[in-house]
Chains A and B, each alone.
Chain A
Amino acid sequence: GAVVSQHPSRVICKSGTSVKIECRSLDFQATTMFWYRQFPKKSLMLMATSNEGSKATYEQGVEKDKFLINHASLTLSTLTVTSAHPEDSSFYICSATGGDYRGPGYTFGSGTRLTVV
């Protein structure tokens, strides 16, 4: 089945630094990738949608200059949290689809726990 690899699984960084999270589709071409954020005991909140080769579409309230998304190839998308602050600490999850949205078509990565100190 489709596999999405997300790296790193956890990262601790200092305030003011930037952190990059990678999301790779291992055995399929991901035409669209999604980035979510999950707060403790809360739902997954969609941050942005990215299509290969074009600019990401950000959800309302998400700062595009803070959360930089690059989807340079059909198998790789990156999320860079710039000038991180403690309030950016969260669980970030990527998802990829090759176009079939009926269920298995949306494959999720294992998530990245970001802690900003």
Chain B
Amino acid sequence: DGGITQSPKYLFRKEGQNVTLSCEQNLNHDAMYWYRQDPGQGLRLIYYSQIVNDFQKGDIAEGYSVSREKKESFPLTVTSAQKNPTAFYLCASSATRRRRSYEQYFGPGTRLTVT
């Protein structure tokens, strides 16, 4: 059963701590994305990766870091430098334009609360 998994569903951290959010996909997709969602706002792109060992900053990359060591995995680290980290984080994946497929498939999300 193919899909995207994110863990954990809910995460609580103290201010000043780094935290890593997991994202795994078994869809054999080349591209993966991280979004942040705040109440009343749309999705804002944090980072994206079109191929293993390569990634690009999105619109709000400051205070975040990623890695893409494996095609299936794209973990996101929220660092202590992120000034307002409490949010709902969504991971997505897509086949590349080479395969003429642009739609993104989303995981269930991780709600991060920092106090």
Asked if chains A and B come from one complex, the reply is no
* Interface of A toward B, CB cutoff 8 Å: none
